[in-house]
Amino acid sequence: MDLNISIRKKLPHFDLDVSFSCRESRLLVLVGPSGAGKTTIIRILAGLDRPDEGRIIYNGETWVDTDKKIFLPPQKRQVGYVFQEYTLFPHLTVAGNVAFAADDKGNVSSLLQRFNIGHLKDRKPDKISGGERQRCAICQAMARRPRLLLLDEPFSALDAVTRQNLREELRKLKRELSIPVIHVTHDIAEALYLGDDVLPMVSGRIVRKWMVQFMLKGRLPEQERVSEDLNGFDSGRRTDLSVLYDSLEVLQ
């Protein structure tokens, strides 16, 4: 099951123009600063937004083809989507939220146990922690038996310890899945920790030319640096990296 996407869309400050593929059992990370177009891409993949031009093909099935005027609606794509903000129903229990999305209600208990929230099944979302709510949101997405899993900065609002625990749980989950997973983040350390494939993004473009140097060495080639501020960059440190992103934008 492979996903292939090639789209263009005019956004307020730039034109989004990306092409990439994600294979089954692979976790692909789109990493870049806020406003780079990452969330727009996964909204288009989910069918919540439309590109101006392009195609999306999943396992031979055309989801979008603007030339042929094909647009497969969200409910037919069978996509699991975990948002940055919790999207749980406040009037339902943890189990009720997962059951609401489940294709098979018999899987709810096992999903809750997998993410260590089985003991919280009868609680409402306002009675559990942020990390527990996000675990519930991931269970909810997985309950749909998705063909594609989309994660939009799901850990950004969590404390450091909870964030690391959920990262590890996601790595374990990925090993069990036979579907493509696309994860969006602005955190380079998170991208390196989770990603089988990592695509740096700046202003609606994937910065392919400098990808290896950027993600593995944490710096650009010596002869192509444009800012002395890059010299102190440590790829293992969580940081805003605005200077680095600005420099990549100049070079692309």
Burial of 225 (0-12, 13-18, 19+ CB in 10 A): middle
Residue 169 lies in a domain: no
- What is residue 187's predicted lDDT score, i.e. its pLDDT? 85
Cα–Cα dist 197/194, whole Å: 9
Q: How far is CA 169 from the centre of its chain?
A: 15
Cα–Cα dist 209/143, whole Å: 38
Residue 93 lies in a domain: no
H or E stretch covering 140 = helix 130-142
- What is residue 224's predicted lDDT score, i.e. its pLDDT? 39
Cα–Cα dist 15/41, whole Å: 12
Residue 32 lies in a domain: yes
Residue 244 lies in a domain: yes
Residue 216 lies in a domain: yes
Residue 140 lies in a domain: no
- What is residue 78's predicted lDDT score, i.e. its pLDDT? 92
CB 80, CB 144: distance < 8 Å: yes
Region of 59 (left: φ > 0; alpha: ψ -120 to 50; beta: rest) is left
Closest CA to 38 of 138, 146, 150: 150
pLDDT in tens for each of the 252 residues of the chain? 789 999 999 999 899 999 999 998 899 999 888 888 999 999 999 999 999 999 999 999 999 999 999 999 998 999 999 987 767 899 999 999 999 988 888 889 988 998 889 999 999 999 998 888 988 998 999 888 899 999 998 887 788 888 888 888 888 888 888 899 999 998 888 888 888 888 888 889 988 655 555 545 444 444 333 333 333 333 343 334 444 454 444 444
What 3-state class would DSSP assign to 28?
A: strand
- What is residue 60's predicted lDDT score, i.e. its pLDDT? 93
- What is residue 180's predicted lDDT score, i.e. its pLDDT? 93
Domains held by the chain: number? 1
Q: What is the CATH number of the domain that holds 56?
A: 3.40.50
- What is residue 218's predicted lDDT score, i.e. its pLDDT? 47
In which domain, by residue range, is 26 found? 3-74+187-251
Closest CA to 179 of 12, 16, 23: 23
Cα–Cα dist 88/198, whole Å: 29
List % helix, strand, coil for the chain (3-state, nearest 5): 40, 20, 40
Residue 135 lies in a domain: no
Residue 17 lies in a domain: yes
